[in-house]
Structure 1
């Protein structure tokens, strides 16, 4: 499907106390550049915000993003007195509709100054576009799907975001609720020191199942096959979770290509039970430590700085962005052993890199077994993200 299309929502406008607010659809490359740059205006006075790479954002919104094989979107920018002050997108995901009903739709990529009129007209534009496509249930934010960045930060504004996690201004949740949205699901991020001490129970479980479980690193010589193994485990492991939409082969292959460039083989732990892959976990250096110095620019020297930092291991934090344990082992002692042994393997690898602390994200608030395990190894909940929903 085409990634950008002319919107039936051409212009929405209102007079606010601070000046005229106009919302315009994004229909060409120049306007997309304005859309991408909105966060630089919104976070100008927030030292914790980490600018994304503009080139990566261009690619994300291009025809090369495999999301557009099953989804369509429209973007808008809000202007006050001809200055960009906010943005929003609306999406229809056919994979989501296939699982949850033909009346679902999403919004995302929401960024805006603290102005109720700006939020009102942005939300109004997204809702009209979705209603025209038969949506009656709207939820978000998803950037662009649940398998990418999602949620609004509602707790944990005192620390910067890690790689591939969103940041928000403190007023976003309040402004959405003023437009009739209600909390739908909370997603949690946990923080743990890399030198945590394994609890006795987990060590005992690992020893108990040590003959059944074999841990290994990803085999780069069979990269495509290995990525398919990870996708199969992930889609099985997460299939019963709230909001789940399966990764397509193309989407996971794109993700795999990024991991191939940025992650050494030993940072991807695969756990086998009796020789069959049953769980996996991926560790990713927190590239936001580097991106914070680049101001969104890879050229002319950003690539060199990125490679230099990675090779010299000057990144001291990391994130666990992907993990999964096959459903047949979930909520069992063997499943707990699989998860813990994968975490412990990456902990040892991280310490060798000089990693001092790790974020594990995101975890559904109602995923009690995983939260109990994270609590047991000394992880602490330090950020909370929220998905909002509304009936149109």
Structure 2
């Protein structure tokens, strides 16, 4: 698949703004660097490591491109970059059932950054025209790039920084996007909870009942065999989430890629796999908040940030833990064992996070607003909504 489309012509939107496809290394650099300039004054924006952003946009390094067509656009005014957007089609998403949110005729745009509403409007128009030229008639956005990356636009929770692998956006973008005719189609929720004092008595009783269940066995992942355990986790995930809105299966290459990407921030006592009758059926993944360490690095590991990061990775201390992924195979999702496994994993990891890593709070999510099981878990452990990301749709 390709990241550029040589057939797309430069589009002059006005006498001041020019939208053009990214086709050169210089344009790609401008595309990446723009986010750091436009968000420099936002105290809650966490600059991503530039190496990670370049890898995300590289067909050689990101297996998403094996099943997607991607076009990047750059907006310029008087020769200066003032906006950017990606337009893309995930061909695996086209194969999904329409009732699950994606399906035939659905494309996406994402990675939006703009200095003004006029710039944003011009960029969205260019993305829509490109998608329409590819026989797309419906847009779900923003999606940056995959549903497994950073989907949705932040629409609640601007007053604090995001945790690792979560986005943060200019509050003005919501009005600009909705002004282009986009309507909310799904909300992705994150939950905040204090973790130093444990959970309510009801949860303790469920955990104790699980500990008496001889069919249940919980184990930590083994970093020495993380490739094996990553495949187990992602296979459970593909099954557990397969009926969810917006689901797109991870390919074998993507599973391997996720394993490699996550391994540096994987700690054995923060990720658990649950077995039922000797078969892996559930998992819970927790990550120390890397953003807390990288926020002041401005996206660069030079000259000495690499040493600081390596030291932190070796001896991580983090007040915040994020639970990005959790799943139980469909066969057991409505069973008593599912509740037992979920709360046992949450509690066991909570103890480790507090005692070994100095954690005082956790963040759960994102969670689909209609995922009744996960919303019930979040409510049961008395967590509170702290961020909402909105996905929009529009017929073009």
TM-score of the two chains, using structure 1 as the length reference: 0.95
| RMSD of aligned alpha carbons | 1.5
CA distance in 2, matches of 1:12, 1:390: 24
TM-fit CA distance, 1:258: 2.1
Match of 2:87 in 1: 90
CA contact (8 A) 1:48 1:159 kept: yes
TM-fit CA distance, 1:11: 2.0
Residue 383 (1) aligns with residue 387 (2): yes
CA distance in 2, matches of 1:22, 1:30: 16
CA contact (8 A) 1:9 1:128 kept: no
TM-score of the two chains, using structure 2 as the length reference: 0.94
Partner deviation per Cα, 1:290-344 (whole Å, 9 max, x = no partner)? 1111111012212101112233333321211111111122233221111111111
Larger deviation, residues 357-366 vs 368-377: 368-377
Residue 303 (1) aligns with residue 306 (2): yes
Q: Call closer, same or farther: CA 1:305–1:7 in 2, change over 3 Å.
A: farther
Match of 1:320 in 2: 323
CA distance in 2, matches of 1:7, 1:322: 39
Q: Call closer, same or farther: CA 1:314–1:170 in 2, change over 3 Å.
A: same
Name the count of aligned residue pairs: 387
CA distance in 2, matches of 1:204, 1:273: 20
TM-fit CA distance, 1:9: 4.0
1:1-392 paired onto structure 2 within 5 Å: 1-6=1-6, 8-15=8-15, 20-62=16-58, 63-100=60-97, 101-113=103-115, 115-210=116-211, 211-351=214-354, 352-392=356-396
TM-fit CA distance, 1:86: 1.4
TM-fit CA distance, 1:131: 0.7
- Please identify runs of 4+ aligned residues in structure 1 that moved more than 3 A: none
CA distance in 2, matches of 1:231, 1:142: 21
Q: Secondary structure at the match of 1:214?
A: strand
CA distance in 2, matches of 1:219, 1:42: 41
Q: Secondary structure at the match of 1:342?
A: helix
Q: Secondary structure at the match of 2:269?
A: helix
Q: Call closer, same or farther: CA 1:205–1:38 in 2, change over 3 Å.
A: same
CA contact (8 A) 1:192 1:357 kept: yes
Where structure 1 has 5 or more consecutive residues not aligned to the other structure, the ranges are none
Match of 2:100 in 1: none
CA distance in 1, matches of 2:122, 2:7: 15
Q: Secondary structure at the match of 2:256?
A: helix
